[in-house]
Amino acid sequence: MSLPPPARTRRVDLVRSRAELPEDVRAALDSYERHLASERGLSPHTVRAYLGDVVGLVVHVAAGDSADATVESIDLAALRSWLAAQLAAGASRTTMARRAAAARTFTAWATRAGLLAEDPGPRLSAPRPHRTLPAVLRQDQAEAAMTVADFAAENGDPVALRDQAVVELLYATGVRVAELCGLDLDDVDYSLRVIRVLGKGSRERAVPFGVPAERAVRRWVERGRSALVSADASKALFLGVQGRRLDSRTARRVVHDVVGAVPGTAPLGPHGLRHSAATHLLEGGADLRTVQELLGHATLATTQLYTHVTVERLKAIHDRTHPRS
């Protein structure tokens, strides 16, 4: 069985295909890109994904010949044919759902922009993605992971101090890793113990954190940060070893290493700590609306996924311990 091309190769192909599109289509995509980035405030990664899907769509409509692509040719039949080709190529339900959403977003914008006479998007159906339960730590495992980070930081090594502050703040707040890496020094209010976070869609929110996270962040800022800081990252809260703002990849490695040091834990990254924080909040009695606000979810439906995690955990305990389970 042939393997799919690497992601980098696919990106290069999409960039090449976009460059080969007719000038009017390229102009439409440029306007759409500005709409996604400026008006909707989507992240660069999301903008690239949406544009890549639209490029694939218009090339498909042109029967694979980029030079013949037009926006006006996108109708319901074309959308269905494009999704059918994705399915035949082995795309997963999650990928199909995302690409259908990207197509609907584009056709809605194109209709408003006068590029399509009628929006075919609302009539396009796609399989719903599977909602898998996220991997989470038990509360005792989370406590053990924080202990591991604390023990490593006892010698005052700047990187170890940073790593402890990273895992403590991620678990305490449940913020996304990109949100954590984007924090500046003045985004932390120690008197109120809250951080100011700029989330998806440029939505700002305040997220509280506890005493252990405060202690770890203070220790990093006062004793570790000055050893790494450079002029390129004078405002960034967390830094890499080169003195620049901490990147998400390094933060993922930090979490993976700390959690991996706890026996019996599954491989987990920053998103796993976010899942764990949400689950433990609900287990402790927090209501869904509060957890939604803390996590920065746009809809309550996303937050409700965590109720399934707690129910599944209760069922597992019942099956393991009740004599008549």
Tell me the three state secondary structure of residue 184.
strand
Q: Are 17 and 29 in contact (CB under 8 A)?
A: no
Q: What is the pLDDT of residues 262-285, one digit of tens each?
A: 999 988 999 889 889 888 888 888
Q: Compute mean pLDDT per 10 residues along the chain, 325 residues long, and list them.
A: 44 70 90 90 85 90 74 92 89 86 93 94 78 78 96 95 97 92 94 87 83 96 92 87 93 95 91 88 80 73 62 59 58
pLDDT of residue 307: 63
Where does 140-271 sit in CATH, by number? 1.10.443.10
Distance separating alpha carbons of residues 227 and 225, to the nearest angstrom: 5
Lookup: tokens for 145: 């992971």
Where does 7-123 sit in CATH, by number? 1.10.150.130
- The mean predicted confidence, pLDDT, of the chain is 84
Alpha carbon dihedral 89, 95, 98, 101, in 10-degree steps, equals 30
Phi and psi at residue 157, in whole multiples of 5°? Answer: -60, 130
Extents of the domains making up the chain: 7-123, 140-271
Q: How many beta carbons lie within 10 A of that of residue 81, not counting itself? A: 14
Residues designated as active site = 176, 200, 271, 274, 297, 306
What percent of the chain lies above the pLDDT cut of 90? 48
Q: What is the pLDDT of residues 23-54, one digit of tens each?
A: 998 999 999 999 998 888 777 888 888 999 99
pTM: 0.65
| Neighbouring residues of 251: CB distance < 8 A, sequence distance ≥ 6 | 166, 170, 177, 180, 181, 238, 270
